[in-house]
Amino acid sequence: MEDAMPRVGHQRPALSEGPARYVLDRLVADRRVTATDISYYLGEMQNEIHQIEERIAHLRAIAGASGTTTRQTLVPAPPSRGTQRRRSNTKGKALGGMYGGLIRRLPRDQQQQYKDIKAAHGIEAAIAALRRRKVG
């Protein structure tokens, strides 16, 4: 009988447009969600639509369906630059923060060699070198 009982917290409430707008406005007002977050999710929606359209076109091509709409005839989804930028910035910020935290621990006269590694081989290599260095 436990299978028939719904789990608390795992069901999404069905919201119509009005209540959904109210909840979203409250989340923004309470600073739990930002306008950037909203833009990100809207961009994700466009990406998902684009991926589904490509998958449908791929499946139609595999099935050999003739006379069906192909990906080229569909209206292309606008590129979501914000989504890609956010993902790369998130990784870049994390690496930059890690690098900054490690290099700040060194005296200034010892920092240049790691800055050179970062310039020549990238931030990941500089972080690895900073972690391998002898602390003494």
Burial of 46 (0-12, 13-18, 19+ CB in 10 A): middle
pLDDT at residue 6 is higher than 60: no
Give residue 53's domain range.
14-79
Top-confidence residue, 12 or 76 = 12
Please indicate, yes or no, whether residues 32 and 72 belong to a single structural domain of this protein: yes
Whether residue 85 is contained in a domain is answered as: yes
Single residue among 79, 101, 119 that ends a domain in this structure: 79
Top-confidence residue, 98 or 8 = 98
Please indicate, yes or no, whether residues 107 and 86 belong to a single structural domain of this protein: yes
Q: What's the pLDDT at 67?
A: 54
Q: What's the pLDDT at 105?
A: 84
Q: What's the pLDDT at 52?
A: 92
Mean pLDDT (the chain) is: 76
Please indicate, yes or no, whether residues 62 and 38 belong to a single structural domain of this protein: yes
Please indicate, yes or no, whether residues 59 and 87 belong to a single structural domain of this protein: no
Residue indicated by tokens 């999404």: 12
Of 96, 122, 126, the residue nearest 113 (C-alpha): 126
Please indicate, yes or no, whether residues 84 and 42 belong to a single structural domain of this protein: no
Say how many domains are in the chain.
2
Please indicate, yes or no, whether residues 60 and 103 belong to a single structural domain of this protein: no
Rounded to whole angstroms, what are the CA distances from 52 to 21, 49, 72, 114?
Answer: 26, 5, 14, 45
Please indicate, yes or no, whether residues 37 and 75 belong to a single structural domain of this protein: yes
Q: Report the amino acid identity of residue 51.
A: Q
Please indicate, yes or no, whether residues 72 and 101 belong to a single structural domain of this protein: no
Span 112-128, average pLDDT? 89
| Separation between Cα atoms, residue 45 and residue 83, nearest integer Å | 10
* Cβ atoms of 98 and 129 closer than 8 Å: no
Single residue among 79, 106, 127 that ends a domain in this structure: 79
Check the CA dihedral 41-45-50-55 and report its sign: positive
Residue 104 backbone dihedrals phi, psi, to 5 degrees: -65, -20
Please indicate, yes or no, whether residues 104 and 68 belong to a single structural domain of this protein: no
pLDDT at residue 115 is higher than 80: yes
Q: Residue 50: which residues within 8 A CB-CB, separation 6 or more?
A: 76, 77
Please indicate, yes or no, whether residues 22 and 64 belong to a single structural domain of this protein: yes
Please indicate, yes or no, whether residues 120 and 99 belong to a single structural domain of this protein: yes
Whether residue 4 is contained in a domain is answered as: no
